[in-house]
Amino acid sequence: MVRRALSIAALMLLGGCAALPAGGGREYLEVETLGALGKEVGESSALALRNGELWTLNDSGNGPLLYKLSIQGEIERRVRLGNAVNIDWESMASDESYLYVADCGNNSGRREWLQLYSVPWERLLGAPHQDSLDVEYIEFSLADPAPVAAPQAHDNDCEAVAAVEGEIWLLTKGWAGLNSRFYRLDPGRVGQAIRTEAVWPVGGLVTGMDYSARRNELVVLGYTLGRLSSEAFIWRVPVRGRTPDWSSAKRYTLWPSGQWEAVVWQGDELLLTREDSLMGEARLGRVRLEQ
């Protein structure tokens, strides 16, 4: 009981403190709070940005809803995907034509088919508040799932996707071994069984990623979860010729910490959302990077 209380206290301190800690050999990036997220989007697990409009969604246990946010994290519009089901929505990606919603969460490790919904930006940006849109989707599976010992003791869970030059890139969460498997998906092909292209030693649980074509850079978001400590991080991964160069990737610790779940590029900055948890309240934040 005492150990549990200490663990909770430590996690709350990590989520709430604002002072940037001493380096100790680590490189830190400060997350500037832009605003708190209300209860309705307290489980924000994905972000997308288009024409200055910021969109998010909640993960499992919530409805098939997309939310337009202000830069302070307030809900400005709510749109339902009328023919969709939120089994475990975990990530979004976008290109010039579509917003992609990835229903790829798999905490049990035993889920066979995953879904990728394609939402036309033209329809979504013009949709009024409380509108309902019917959208198309494809199903896909991971062709090389790892054995499942127990829930959250496997690497068949996916919480991070990014759109890169006509492809959707996926990373598994890394519950088992804190390594993430990298996949490529064709968003226009039905019934794909995709195979691992690489395994990245991320050293934590991957919760989001996004790609900047202008910077040729992929950013990978995640956190570690220990008995008495937690650490949020991002990896910055150069992309060369449609291939991520993990050998040149660099890790940064985020401060304040917490269960940061979603990330999207905004020029040379990153916007992030943190899910409400023992590691801190739900919030919208910004990280400034060099040009």
Q: What are phi and psi of 5, to 5 degrees?
A: -65, -40
Choose among 150, 151, 239, 252: nearest CA to 198.
239
| Higher-pLDDT residue of 193, 23 | 193
Domain ranges of the chain: 26-288
What 8-state DSSP symbol labels residue 2?
H
Confidence of residue 26 (pLDDT cuts 50, 70, 90): confident
Confidence of residue 9 (pLDDT cuts 50, 70, 90): very low
d(CA 22, CA 20): 7
How would CATH label the architecture of 26-288?
6 Propeller (2.120)
Handedness of CA 63, 98, 205, 220 (dihedral sign): negative
What 8-state DSSP symbol labels residue 246?
G
Contact 261, 274 (CB under 8 A): yes
270-280 pLDDT per residue, tens: 999 999 988 88
Position 3 pLDDT exceeds 50: no
Q: What is the pLDDT of residue 17?
A: 45
Beta bridge partners of 220: 209, 235
Beta bridge partners of 28: 253
Neighbours of 184 (CB within 10 A): 14
d(CA 119, CA 258): 30
Assigned token pair, 104: 């790829």
Cis preceding-peptide flag for 120 (omega within 30 of 0): no
Contact 146, 155 (CB under 8 A): yes
